Structure 1
Amino acid sequence: MFTVRRAGPYDGDVLGEIHAAAWEAAYAPFFDPGFAADGVRSRRTRWHERVGQADTPILLAEHEGRPLALTAFRASAPRSASAPVTSGRTAACRGRRGVTGSGRRRICAGAERAGADWMPG
């Protein structure tokens, strides 16, 4: 049975492991190995300070008591009603360290089509 609950301060390690595993599977292949390893490592530790913040609810999904997924959300920054939600290119396309070769080309092409100004992860 699946359950979803609000994460608590004691869930920082679990949240970090879920985020690191998901980021590694989805994005690490696009980066050089050293940058990817740093990215995985940083995702393991960033959740301890986020969990419990009033402006960032974090939900943790479990299957038979085993943590499997998370979601975190908060209000976006104020903007005018006519402003686009995203615009421009990803940080990768602006020379972000670690993005190389065909991975960079694929990320930038997708960002160009989507009009995104954020870097996944």
Structure 2
Amino acid sequence: MKLSYELLLVSTEWIVRLGALVVIPQRRSPSSARAWLLLIFFLPIAGIILFLAIGNDHFPKWRRARFRSLQLFFEMATDSLKPFQAVLEARQQPVAELAAALRRFPATDGKRIELIDDYDGMIDRLVADIDA
């Protein structure tokens, strides 16, 4: 009886590991897939439970419906920002396109980026900007 239980446990762990090799890498970044596979290979049962609980990359139906309903808002907001769109240099264009793709808003005039390389200076600047 004990031998069959151990055999069942070991075979289940290997089935989980081999199944993870097929399922985990799909539509994930290499670093994310590597992390999930390492967890599942070292702790197969706990890893698969965690993966099923928090590793699913699909949104529920209600959330997808909410994203679709916001599409009209993003289109109207983008249209209202067109008069303020920035004239960009050629080297700035790829960054502006990436930002627009990620947050769905175009780059506008009046924005600038300043690199602050010390933590205290960054906090002071953040407080000053909030106060302004």
Q: Same fold (TM over 0.5)?
A: no
Question: Higher Cα Rg: structure 1 or 2?
Answer: 2
Higher helix proportion (structure 1 or 2): 2
Alignment TM-score, normalising by the size of structure 2: 0.29
